[in-house]
Amino acid sequence: MIKNASHMLLTLIARIVRGIGWLLAGIAGTLMVLTILDHHGLFSPQSPLFGVDYISPLWITLLFVASSALVLIAFGKRFWIPISVGLLYFVTFGDVSLMGILARFPQQAVASERAVRVATFNVEYYADGVDNVMDAIDQLNADIMLLGEHALSLKQETEMQRRLQGRMLVAGHPNSTAILSRFPIVWWKEVELPSHEASLSGGNDPDEIVKNRHRSFVHAIVNIDSQYVHVLSVRFIAGRPKDHTLKEQMRWGRFMFSEQWNESRFFAEYLKKLEGPVIFGCDLNACASSKAVSIISRIADDAYMKNNLFGDLTFRTEFPTLRLDYLFSMNGVRSVNARRPFVSVSDHFPVSARFVLPDRSPVPGQIDLGEN
């Protein structure tokens, strides 16, 4: 009698485990299909499924493999099938680069080549303290810094340049982006994006945001040992919904995905018009599988993925799960190494890379160096 009761209990538990496993595996499998379709542009911006590819493939893969394990353990069958499916999906759509295998044999710049160390860093409005952030910037020891969420007064910017050994700083409007360079900046401008400013500290209503000023990025031409290089610091829109209801969260999410898509297309078209070496990056607020980052990745080289097998996670939480910060290069600029330094003065980690410049090129003819 006790044996039968125990057997019935175990059978019931097995059925519950199978049921949970099938449900979660079904959700993960559906997400796999939807993200693949969205990645290939099969959902219009008006579709409720537009932007589903912003869900990290890593999350989906882990959910699929873990839920499949529940089903297979209950059935007592082999586990290699879901493992294979999950790995195939992750390798195809996840933050993985087979070029990273070559990073085991890193290329070194030869004496005749000119190399420059560039780092990008979202400084979170200097919330950890201006002095602490400047200490971190000094420790990173990059020739050029691309700063996101830069929010300093003119007096503080002057102090930053003095303290950081006279580096030149150019910045967009408050809370946008900036470029800090050891090399001379011979020209720069702030370029408006099609999107509008959103609050990161408070809630956002898509209907109200259009009343705010346009968002922007900073574009500079830097003289690196007589080589003129385009350097751009850009950050895509992010923020929070106006309240925590599911309706507003979904409304804000769709709005943000659409705005980032528009920003990315605008920025990509801007990049295509530039002649000569180009280095750019900062906090794109989107994972590598998203449409916003994919548009950029089609025309530029992702420095980190050119030198590493897996994308490292740059959004600093207790359990980091996202790579949001990037460095890219174009027009003959190549990266010989890239890393994610461990710096804890922001909610983002910086990304650092060494870039080798191509043969010297003249000042791009379509740029008026007298304009500012």
Residue pointed to by tokens 């409007």: 173
Q: What pLDDT is stored for residue 51 in this prediction? A: 87
* pLDDT tens for each residue of 13-50: 777 877 888 888 889 889 999 998 998 888 888 888 88
Average predicted confidence (pLDDT) for the chain: 86
User: In the predicted model, is pLDDT for residue 231 greater than 80?
Assistant: yes
Across 177-187, average pLDDT: 96
More confident position, 102 or 10: 10
Calpha distance 348→127 (Å, rounded) = 12
User: In the predicted model, is pLDDT for residue 144 greater than 90?
Assistant: yes
Of the candidate ranges 95-99, 300-304, 310-314, 366-370, the one whose mean pLDDT is the lowest: 366-370
More confident position, 201 or 134: 134
* pLDDT tens for each residue of 207-220: 999 899 999 999 99
More confident position, 218 or 154: 218
Across 166-180, average pLDDT: 92
Is 98-356 a CATH 3.40.50.720 domain? no
User: In the predicted model, is pLDDT for residue 242 greater than 70?
Assistant: yes
Across 314-327, average pLDDT: 80
What is the band of 320 on the pLDDT scale with cuts at 50, 70, 90?
low
* pLDDT tens for each residue of 104-141: 555 554 555 788 999 999 999 999 999 999 999 999 99
Across 270-289, average pLDDT: 94
Instruction: Select from 309, 314, 307 the least CA-distant residue to 284.
Output: 314
Q: Where are the domains of the chain?
A: 2-93, 98-356
Q: Answer whether 137's CB lies under 8 Å from 159's CB.
A: no
Beta bridge mates, 339: 352
Calpha distance 109→197 (Å, rounded) = 40
User: In the predicted model, is pLDDT for residue 101 greater than 60?
Assistant: no
Q: What pLDDT is stored for residue 44 in this prediction? A: 86
Q: pLDDT exceeding 70 applies to what percent of the chain?
A: 87
Q: What pLDDT is stored for residue 315 in this prediction? A: 86
User: In the predicted model, is pLDDT for residue 70 greater than 80?
Assistant: no
Evaluate if pTM is beyond 0.75. Answer: yes
Q: What pLDDT is stored for residue 109 in this prediction? A: 47
More confident position, 4 or 366: 4
